[in-house]
Structure 1
């Protein structure tokens, strides 16, 4: 069976190459959109995704949105456990004192000695006693920022100094500027006026939750993913791209099904003659499905390689993330779709009449 399938592919090279190209381009498009969806999700919420927290405590009336939640500094100071830390998030425009360029960023106020502090990949980290020092995401470096640069917050007339860079720390498509709570208070009008948006929990331990609940009233615990989904634009972006992927896969079913059906119709006479010399429906169907399997595996494999290479040469400004596990899932879905499309065409094999085929042969 395998030998017969490969011999036919080799004999009708152009026909199978054209079908393979169609499957390749459909698969490549699925993988590219998947990479863009993953990249946009990462660019919109990587700071939250990579944060060492499993859930958050936010205001009851916040609709699970971080920007609508607020707790006072006095409230959060009552929390005794180290497994729960205050988190302040606020989008703002800062000015680079050297270049005079305005930068859209997200300020993030945390306790840098605790679990919320991300890894610094270049420069040095900050501490609770750092005087207006900040660690920023690497995307600011691509915009020309460097260690030692001064960022100016006009609303509070505060100058911030970049001392280090971190990676994958963006929020709502803006780089984060991470500072200690003292600097956070300076920017937002002092300790009596500045508040925090949420309390991050390192674990879902009942004791940790009880301590937070007793210290800060009128709040609720929200899983990390639920809070990520409410970041402005996040759900809309992801649902739109996922719908495009779903339509692509549905289109692939009909396109591939039509091609395999036409290809099978063209070989009805051959199937009839093979039946006349003893070939069974099971053998012929198996041979056809094996051809589709080989064609699909090769085409999808090449498309995965193409998506991987594309990530390497794609400009830095385009958010594209090659998630191999996710790509394999979509590749498996396309393989199943290809086999289902081919299975639909096998009805022609079953209906092939040996006597009619031999008559045609005459």
Structure 2
């Protein structure tokens, strides 16, 4: 089994899982640096407190054996002052300072990789949304044209020539619109299909880069902890035997083992999404234009919404529509401005009458006498 990020996080929440681990690693590094700085500060403050103690008791005067005992006590404290001052300096200069620099530099690098991932996600979501909208409109106009064609056939035996001519004009207009959206639909599907290999390569590259930063982080922390143990053992007398367990645990730090454990516990899947496919209009029995596998988002809804307060717009229409009860209302949770005349504009708090529901999330509704499509995840059913 491969334990590479690029082979195990292709599920819909794959990047979110990797991102969470990367961010946890960044926070852990910050706390390691904080620990070193605080330990150094504690050591230095303890050294200063002992110095103050000696200063405040330097007037103590004794004779003979008691004086000898007092001088021995002072000598022991002076040794402790030197030890803790030296340890504090080592922790600050040899560990905390370079550790802090590493943390800042790696945070910038990881931020760049994460931004690349968000961009990849946005590009694909935009393409899928264009496919979804053009598919909905293509199906809608095709369905209307199909119904108008039936009406045309019926009118031939019951209507006057002038009426038939009007119906024919409407039919031709609907057919033209359906043809235009069919072309858009085909074009968008073709663009995403052509982009798919490049997109997969970019995603793999991003995952690989993020894994490299995590491996680098683990290796660097291991080195700093080894320096930490060495600083204690070389400064504080008679501690090497006491710290034998700590020495062994630090020496056993293994980036491969840690990353493998994370992958085994958190992997979301190794199967890459299928490219989109064009599905011709099939009337009421029209099937989905794209398989579930191809509707892929590099980040899940939760991760994407972390970039803003709005939820992601639905991208994939369902195979069929089901009529909603005419009394069902949806209350807008966010403002929304439609991209064209087929979509509803609404503001937070507006109540939309639900006319039809789609599994894609693009529902048909009525607001203030206007009928159009709207993203259902911008609303809450009342």
Q: Given the two structures, how large is their TM-score scaled by the length of structure 1? A: 0.30
* Bigger relative contact order, structure 1 or 2 (CA pairs below 8 A, ≥6 apart): 1
Instruction: Find the structure with the greater CA-based Rg.
Output: 2
